[in-house]
Amino acid sequence: MAGPDTVTQYRSALFPTTAAQRKVAHPYVKQIDALHAFKAPLVTKVENYSGFYAAEGYHQNVLTLHPTHPYIAINDMPEADNLTRFAPAQHRADAVLAANAN
């Protein structure tokens, strides 16, 4: 993980809800890590799903709503750009926003 997100509450995780998803999750994380799009290895964990709890509204869609915020511009956009450059076939031009993710 790059940037200031060094504590565990900010780390990414996958929560597969089926055996099929779990079977894909581990290799997917390894595949993304093998692209070397980031300065350090991914810290994304595959965890057991125990329910979904939406974050407060001000945590939703932050990149889309505040693309020029210094944190987003310095930490997130370069990583998103790298991932797009290394895996263009997996890039999605339209954002999947929290309100539309159902």
Domain boundary assignment for the chain: 6-52, 54-102
pLDDT at 48: 94
| Cut 0.75: pTM above it | no
Q: What angle do CA 31, 21, 51 make, to 5 degrees?
A: 120
pLDDT at 82: 85
pLDDT at 102: 45
pLDDT at 94: 81
CA atoms within 13 A on the CB side of 18: 3
pLDDT at 98: 74
pLDDT at 100: 54
Query: Residue ranges of the alpha helices (H) in 7-98?
Result: 19-34, 62-65, 70-71, 77-86
Under-50 pLDDT residues of the chain: 1-2, 102
